[in-house]
Structure 1
Amino acid sequence: MIYLTRVENFNAAHKLSNPAWSKEKNQEVFGKCANDNWHGHNYELHVTIKGTPDPETGFVFNAKTLGDVIKDVIVEKVDHRNLNMDVDFMAGKFTSAENLAIAIWDELAKNLPPAAQLHCIKLYETPRIYVEYYGGQ
């Protein structure tokens, strides 16, 4: 089994806030991330697929094609957007890095051909904070 990872970047704003809680409780739990005026991140997205290399190309999947799909399906929808308000696949979801990674997986899974079997989504929110998602395994 060979694993191929494509890395893309995007910038997005969001706010972490539970509408069932008071402003004080949100501040206590989420701190600066509950700022009424939002806050942003320079995200780094790692999309890893797996498979067996094709004997004719040597590729598990064409890395440029993978990048094009990620850009079309994810980056174009989230880059310089507000995750809480502007991103269709995040509508009604809490915009934590964890939920964003799951939503990215779901969107890519619907838009990648069978040859590009998703293995992992790794999403860096900051250089020191990232999440990994393996599709509910």
Structure 2
Amino acid sequence: MFEVTVQAGFSSGHYLRNYNGKCENPHGHNYRVLVTLVGAELDETGLLLDFKLLKHVLRPTVDYLDHQMINDLEPFITLNPSAENLAKYFFDNTATQLDEMTSGRVRVKDCTVFETDTSFARYFEQL
């Protein structure tokens, strides 16, 4: 199997609902997102997926969240904007686009969302 990973970043605010502590108040993060793809076959160029193309796939999701109050955006109006839920959001958005682009040759292995340099959440599904 082959893997490739790209990193993206964005700055946003959020607050956690049904949480008792500082994070129930509006606050911000400089988020860092890592998306790892996996596949058994390379393309005719010898790539699993061009890094530039994967960054292009991530750009609409990053732009949607960047410099926003995440709680004011779908699906986070009702879904708590935790790092865990953001990781799944990136996973789902990336997986949908990749399936269309590569006919299933390339899949999302996992998505990791860092809220700080030392705190992150990861979402993955069994392959």
Change (3 A) 1:55 1:108: closer
CA distance in 2, matches of 1:55, 1:88: 35
Identity of aligned residues (%): 33
The answer (yes or no) to whether the contact 1:102–1:135 under 8 Å persists in 2 is: no
**How many residue pairs are counted as aligned between the two chains?**
123
> Corresponding residue for 2:50?
62
Larger Rg: 1
Find the partner of 2:110 among 120, 125, 128.
120
Q: How high is the TM-score relative to the length of structure 2?
A: 0.88
SS in 2 for 1:77: helix
- Can you give the 5+ residue segments of structure 2 that lack an aligned partner in the other structure? none
- Name the residue aligned to 2:68: 81
User: 1:1-137 to 2 correspondence within 5 Å?
Assistant: 1-18=1-18, 26=19, 29=20, 31-35=21-25, 38-54=26-42, 56-72=44-60, 74-85=61-72, 87-112=73-98, 113=101, 114-135=104-125
TM-score of the pair, normalised by structure 1 = 0.82
Q: Which runs of 5+ in 1 are unaligned?
A: 19-25
Amino acid at match of 2:62: V
Q: 1:11 to 1:55 in 2, by over 3 A?
A: closer
